Amino acid sequence: MTIIRLGYVAMSMNLQNCSPSQTMTFAQFEKIKDREAAIAKLEKISKSNLANCLRLLKHNAAHHIHFFRFSSKLIPLANHQELKDWNYMKNLKGSLQELADYLEAHPMRVGFHPDHFVVLNSQDPEIMKNSLRTLRMHEQLLNGMKVDPEHRCVLHIGGAYDDKEKALEQFISNWGLVPVSIQKMLIVENDDTTFTLNDALYLCEKLGVPQVFDYHHHLAFYEDPHWEAHWDRVVNTWRLSPLPLKMHISSPRNEKDFRAHADYIDTDMFMKFLTAVKGSVAQIDCMIEAKQKDNALFELVNELKKRQGIEWLDATTFKI
């Protein structure tokens, strides 16, 4: 038997006026002539985003959802090179403590997935600096919420730069430039255009990093279609992690636009995966990446309840 725990990404389709990703561009920031006033506005937006995160956590707890990905846009411009002097953590300490208190009272697995511009296999020093600055922001936010950052941040490998093998070795070379605390925070995902499951496993096994298996990405882009033959290797990358194995589940929008995420999850597709892995590991946390966010989770639960061989432990967690 394997315990399956379902989660969703960043925001709810059921909560009104609850975006955790309200933002401000640098162009808007520059239009405010008083720099202190501009920073005060940034902090106001950030506090609103964090307050909405607290609402989301309460929503999750009410629906027995134990797995959630925070938006990486909580603090607008926090990683901008023109705002290096902004100590955003100082004035956000109280808001982050509220999240810490709630997570202590209502434990759930939370984490981040930085945007595609965070690239660790670049040969450009500025891209590396910006990437590390962004990852440091994620680490600080987790620490501010009193969440152990270890294995809380999913990363894509980056670009192929016309030579995929060289790009993989560049990632390994650049890994030495990454502070140890950030290395411990990272887990690596296979993508749908450049780096396959086997590529991700190569890096993860070399660097001792857990591998996040994205099932939809694999179906869209692979060298070996038989992912099941490599599943034990995926499981093994998590053997030293304090967290259960994590995977991503999404479904193609349609055959023509296969890589795009659908609004909901194809239950048959998900069941095919579950049937293949059941019993192979004690627990899998499945992050739903669907346009309908928590509605996609609720709909998947409704569909799964019609299936045989599933024992429900609570509203979003089951054994198979």
Domains located in the chain, CATH noted: 3-18+108-319 (3.20.20.150)
**In the chain, pLDDT over 70 holds for what percent of residues?**
100
pLDDT tens per residue, range 15-25: 999 999 999 99
Using the predicted structure, report yes or no on whether residue 240 has a pLDDT greater than 90: yes
pLDDT tens per residue, range 116-160: 899 999 999 999 999 999 999 999 999 999 999 999 999 999 999
Beta-sheet pairing, 245-249 with 211-214: parallel
pLDDT tens per residue, range 135-144: 999 999 999 9
- pLDDT higher for 165 or 79? 165
The whole-chain average pLDDT of the chain stands at 96
Q: CA 170 to CA 203: how far, in whole Å?
A: 11
Residue 84's pLDDT is 87
Name the pTM for this structure: 0.96
Q: CA 315 to CA 11: how far, in whole Å?
A: 19
Residue 146's pLDDT is 98
5 beta partners: 285, 317
List CB contacts of 171: < 8 A, sequence separation 6 or more.
Answer: 120, 121, 157, 158, 203
Using the predicted structure, report yes or no on whether residue 81 has a pLDDT greater than 90: no
List CB contacts of 279: < 8 A, sequence separation 6 or more.
Answer: 1, 2
Give backbone dihedrals phi and psi of 287, rounded to 5 degrees, phi first: -90, 120
> Which pLDDT band holds residue 231 (cuts at 50, 70, 90)?
very high
pLDDT tens per residue, range 45-60: 999 999 999 999 999 9
Residue 127's pLDDT is 95
User: How many CA atoms does the CB half-sphere of 207 hold within 13 Å?
Assistant: 27
Mean pLDDT value of segment 192-209: 97
